[in-house]
């Protein structure tokens, strides 16, 4: 297992839709382990593969002391919504009120290729939606209303981490043709 650097806003991998996982092999299991270790080290409530530079549809979560992962997710969202502060490891220090569905039923696969269904509400529902957005190349600031998004962009430009240096480029053992 290895902790990987988290990609920050501005890195093109974060706005690129991820490819579906095809091979459920040892490399995929290592990716899930790396994601989990990186998320716990950060710490965060979730982490998607693109956030460590891997363009595959995989994410992990740690909500209410429950660790999990989901591969190639599809979501069924409730019509009722929740409002709440949301942050992202790719936007250090930023929190914004972000609308999300209150409940979600997520279907996908575990790291062995077995079909799984995850049902969540409140924070787990928020985490699953946030991480699935990453797999679609959507960032949480894309969900903000116009005024809040302007405020977020100003905060990003003023942050210590933005434009500090070029995004870290690291060749991942999990990368391949996307």
Q: Return the domain boundaries, the chain.
A: 12-158
Concatenating the DSSP letter of every residue in 88-129 gives -TTSTT-EEE--EESEEEEEEE-TTS-EEEEEEEHHHHHHHH
Enzyme catalytic residues: 131
Domain 12-158 has CATH 3.30.420.40: no
- Round to whole Å and give the CA distance between 51 and 47: 7
Which pLDDT value is given to residue 174?
52
Q: What would the mean pLDDT of 137-164 be, rounded to a whole number?
A: 91
- What global pTM score does this model have? 0.89
Per-residue CA distances from 74 to 45, 52, 57, 71 (Å)? 19, 21, 10, 9
Q: What would the mean pLDDT of 100-124 be, rounded to a whole number?
A: 98
Which pLDDT value is given to residue 177?
45
Instruction: Report cis status (omega within 30 of 0) of the bond before 43.
Output: yes
Q: What would the mean pLDDT of 165-178 be, rounded to a whole number?
A: 47
């Amino acid at each position: 297992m290895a902790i990987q650097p988290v990609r920050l806003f501005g890195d093109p991998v974060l706005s690129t839709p991820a490819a579906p996982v095809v091979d459920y092999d040892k490399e995929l299991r290592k990716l899930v382990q790396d994601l989990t270790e990186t998320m716990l080290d950060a710490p965060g409530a979730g982490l998607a593969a693109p956030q460590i530079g891997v363009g595959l549809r995989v994410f992990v979560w740690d909500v209410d002391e429950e660790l999990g992962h989901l591969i190639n997710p599809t979501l069924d969202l409730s019509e009722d919504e929740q409002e709440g502060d949301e942050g992202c490891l790719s936007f250090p220090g930023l929190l914004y009120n972000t609308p999300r569905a209150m409940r979600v039923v997520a279907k996908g696969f575990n790291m062995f290729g077995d079909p799984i269904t995850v049902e969540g509400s409140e924070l787990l529902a928020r985490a699953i939606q946030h991480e699935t957005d990453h797999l679609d190349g959507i960032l949480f600031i894309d969900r903000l209303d116009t005024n809040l998004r302007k405020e977020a962009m100003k905060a990003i430009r003023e942050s210590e981490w933005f434009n500090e240096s070029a995004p870290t480029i690291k060749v991942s053992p999990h990368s391949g043709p996307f």
